[in-house]
Structure 1
């Protein structure tokens, strides 16, 4: 029998804090949220492993280190409005930290054109962040996503500033592609 409470504390101490995630909102939420409850029962034992874990076709919870570093890069604050794209764990962390969270995890992963968000997170790799995602950022809002075209991707923070959209790479990562966002295969000699 897995002691999930002990595994959760160990995850924060060995995978989160040791990777320069100093945001106490993120650490506290990750200590409290039962990550195993977001997975099918047969995969619950993998909830705190240092790996991504599939929860549905084309969807996986990011490795704890990766999701923690993305959340840290968002510089979250209670009361902010957030969007979690195929990110059930990220959404739970944001809610625990006091943000108002909208979730997108169906076939259509495009936010409403009338909404503006302070923080957006995606738990899966995409070739390039869709324009609809960056367009959904409020002034000063940030999008945390992993862009990947080859074997290694880059975790990126996009920030909507008065002078336009800024892009900053924060770490390397190799998660699976988000279903529907895989690179197009072409013919090559």
Structure 2
């Protein structure tokens, strides 16, 4: 049996999956090529790390597929001087990509074991511009702070206004919003203190952030 060629798999992920899905930003492609995705999955999943799959990471959660990660990073367009808020650290891979692109990242995760695992992985790679926090951030985090980019890595039924209000002027909020099975990636750009531009980017589907699923509707006969 031939040995698994990690670098070939990484190359194919970018050239056969991500780039054909209209992810053409050179900085984003370079980040996805630079951060070793295989180090953010369980050892038994490493041969699947570059597949177009939502790989399980425990607690009923999954990693975003590479093509979705690429599209979200391109839509958010983090710049080297910008500060990012990520809601949902997960495996830490997306966090590492953001750290590669931006000046600094605050990443919040509700599962403490995910925070601990991501901390170890980021430290192993020498990534030092990330502050990891543990808590429930589905409806907002650090309300007195502003960020240039805010990214939600899990879906929300409705986009909380708290995140819009935390954007700097020119800042971008990117999230997956909707009710199953219909969800879309959206981008909100803050044009002024009172004006926002809302765009629907593409249809996709992922798990809800904990506490962000639609509330059940009750019917009485």
1:143–1:159 Cα contact (<8 Å) kept: yes
- 1:22 partnered with 2:24: yes
2:189–2:198 Cα contact (<8 Å) kept: yes
1:59–1:179 Cα contact (<8 Å) kept: no
Match of 1:103 in 2: 107
Superposed CA offset, 1:60-99 (max 9, x none): 2211111111111112211111111114322211111243
1:40 Cα shift? 2.8
User: Structure 2 CA distance, aligned partners of 1:60 and 1:36?
Assistant: 15
1:125–1:175 Cα contact (<8 Å) kept: yes
Q: Which runs of 5+ in 2 are unaligned?
A: 111-134
Aligned length: 189
Match of 2:72 in 1: 70
1:168 Cα shift? 0.3
2:84–2:102 Cα contact (<8 Å) kept: no
User: Structure 1 CA distance, aligned partners of 2:169 and 2:61?
Assistant: 29
Q: CA RMSD in A?
A: 1.8
Match of 1:146 in 2: 176
State the TM-score, normalized to the length of structure 1.
0.91
Which protein is bigger by CA-based radius of gyration? 2
Q: Which runs of 5+ in 1 are unaligned?
A: none
State the TM-score, normalized to the length of structure 2.
0.78
Match of 2:12 in 1: 10
1:90–1:121 Cα contact (<8 Å) kept: no
Q: Secondary structure at the match of 2:179?
A: coil
